[in-house]
Amino acid sequence: MNDSILFIKGIIYGLFLLAGLPATAEAQATGSGFIAKLESELVALAENSLPAVVNISPYVPPSPSIARQGEPRERATNAGAGVIINGKQGYIVTNSHVVRKAQKVTITLYGGKKLVGNTLGYDEDTDLAVIKAESDEVLPEVELGDSAQLKVGQFAIAIGNPYGLNDTFTFGIISGLNRENVNISQYEDFIQTDASINPGNSGGPLFNIQGKVIGINTAIINYAQGIGFSIPSNTVKFVTRQLIENGEVKRGWMGVGIDFITDEVARKESVEKEDGVLINSVFDGQPADKAGLKVGDIILRIAGSKVDSPSKMIRLIGSITPGQTVNVDILRDGQKKTLSVLLAKRFEEPVQVAKLEPAEPRPLGFTVQGLDDAVRKSFNLTNADGVVVTQVQPKSVAQDGGLRRGDVITAANGRKIFKKEDLDDVLQSRFEDQPLFFLVVRKEEKVHLTLYGTNPMPQGGSAKPH
């Protein structure tokens, strides 16, 4: 019988003791010994790790009543925790929502000493930030572990400052892995734990029993007990390295819009809906377009890793730096193909600021308006000819197909669109179950979109390009 089994049995026997249940003398002795060993290990872990956990709060200048020339005015709006990952350089990792783009924060070390910290960079897509402490001394630090090796049921320890109670140490287990669709950040792949996490724990570390950081605590579900989420340490490594070196995170960009595989496509291609993701738009001249990817292709694997959801693909592409070439396995018309895609720098989405009064929505869930000087000015449009999308209904075929307010439809099913009547003719001449192929101009980029049938595509897919 190996040591780990003996250890677990000892805990079980110890729990019998604590519950006052009967056990043999041998079991009681074994249980007491292993409970004492577990207690000793946790005490040692606390003593070694607590000095590397800090409190982060808004920076207050020495003379707050005097406006000093050159003093940064941005301040953190939240108090939270952080953990020192490089004591010599003074690098501290925390949540981006803790610093809120602040240039300076106040760092309180274990024991009460205060330092000033400067924000090196933050990444809202993963809710991570790196602070550099101003210190002449080498600070205590902890090591980032390998979150890829985690398993459900392993012990987890969270440290933070819940409700202002500094240096709070809580103990639990890993309850789940690869949690997504929590709607906390863009790149979601969370560790779920029942180690108590409360407001003020944000940015604090989640440790394994060996004292290595396996995650950075980021959120809780307010209406549930024992459900907290942490950003995996391997994600922390990737993001913090780039923030320290570049001040920003550079992510790969393919130039496609994606969603879950629809029931119709799954039947047509004889695949399961979890076998890949469906390309519903391709940006003209972008990496995917140059590599030959098309609307309607099903992406099966990227760089050898299975793509079973839009969120998974977002994480895969986002973990690859621009300039690298990746193999993309696709299914097209029943045939598997492998294409090489040279990733570019991530595309920044346009921001729509104009607003027109919506007309009666069309059956597919969108409305359009012809282009005159006033409309062009409202939507900041220049040379594009066609009709502009003025409204897209939530959960509609148009939204699920990737159509957005402000898109200029220049062609539909291969026909040039110059006015609303042209689009009406195309819509009226098409059969109800036929796909609708659009060419649109979006912030001077050409984008191919496909709208399927009259029924909305499954919810939960990504409306963002990748």
Catalytic residues: 97, 127, 202
Q: How far is CA 413 from CA 92, 283, 295, 418, 427, in A?
A: 54, 17, 13, 14, 9
Q: Where are the alpha helices (DSSP H) in 226-347?
A: 233-246, 263-269, 287-291, 310-318
Q: Where are the alpha helices (DSSP H) in 372-459?
A: 373-379, 397-400, 420-429
Angle at 407 between CA 414 and CA 351, to 5 degrees: 155
**Residue pair 313/337 in contact by the 8 Å Cβ criterion:** no
**Residues contacting 76, CB < 8 A, separation 6+:** 56, 57, 58, 59, 98, 99, 100, 102, 105
What is the distance in angstroms between the CA of the first residue and the CA of the last residue of the chain?
Answer: 50
**Residue pair 83/52 in contact by the 8 Å Cβ criterion:** yes
Residue 245 φ/ψ, nearest 5 degrees? -80, -40
Residue 5 φ/ψ, nearest 5 degrees? -65, -40
Least Cα distance to 427 among 375, 385, 367, 382 occurs for: 367
343: number of Cβ within 10 Å: 21
What percent helix, strand, coil does the chain show, rounded to 5? Answer: 25, 30, 45
